[in-house]
Structure 1
Amino acid sequence: MPGRIVGRGVGPVVGRGVAVGLGMVWWWAVLRLAFAPGAGVLEGTVAAGGWGLSLLPVHCAAKGRAAGALGAGRWRRVWGAGGGERRDGGEEGG
């Protein structure tokens, strides 16, 4: 197929290109704010927006899909049962 990148889809390549492009725009704004006497609202908005986006937890996943996630009632089982004994008086078996 013409135009196909071997071993990769086009999506990851485009995504990285967009990320690099936006990073370059952010650095342009930050450097202009630091060194150019005529920098103003546009540069400040781009710099503040990029910094604000960096605070978002973009690597979060739903608890059910996260690797190593603990079940919903884990702490209730640990603190409520107390040492392998069930509340109804029986022993937990395994």
Structure 2
Amino acid sequence: MAGIARWGAALGLGTLWWWAVLRLAVAPDAGALEGAVAAGGWGLSLLPVHCVPKSRAAGALESGRWARAWRAAPVTTASPHRRSDAGSGPS
């Protein structure tokens, strides 16, 4: 039953979006309502709807990988800043 409702909602919203797009293209008196419906439907099409949780994704990296990499980074071996009275450094 949920599948029928989902298909019905998709068909109804798709019909509404096409009506708005065609009305914007053809009707000279199309306004903000049609523009908002068309832009909203287009924006929804950009959403990643075929996503799975990261734990189930093929080839996904485990959580916390970057945090562990940053913690394991070696301490810098850069020279400390010279003091103003230290004189010139090696050339």
How much identity, in percent, do the aligned residues show? Answer: 62
3-state SS, counterpart of residue 26 of structure 1: helix
Q: Which has the higher Rg, Structure 1 or Structure 2?
A: 2
From 33, 46, 62, the equivalent of 2:37 is 46
From 21, 24, 30, the equivalent of 2:15 is 24
Which residue is equivalent to 1:13?
Answer: 4
- Shift of the alpha carbon at 1:65? 1.9
Alignment deviations for residues 67-91 of structure 1 (CA, whole Å, 9 cap, x no partner): x233426xxxxxxxxxxxxxxxxxx
After superposition, the CA RMSD in angstroms is 1.2
Give matches, 1:1-94, under 5 Å: 10-66=1-57, 68-72=58-62
Q: Structure 1 regions of 5+ residues with no counterpart?
A: 1-9, 74-94
Q: TM-score, normalised by structure 1?
A: 0.62
Greater RCO between the two (CA within 8 Å, min separation 6)?
Answer: 2
The count of residues paired between Structure 1 and Structure 2 equals 63
Q: Structure 2 regions of 5+ residues with no counterpart?
A: 66-91
Alignment deviations for residues 8-39 of structure 1 (CA, whole Å, 9 cap, x no partner): xx000110010000000000000000000110
In structure 2, distance between residues paired with 1:20 and 1:70: 34
- Shift of the alpha carbon at 1:61? 1.2
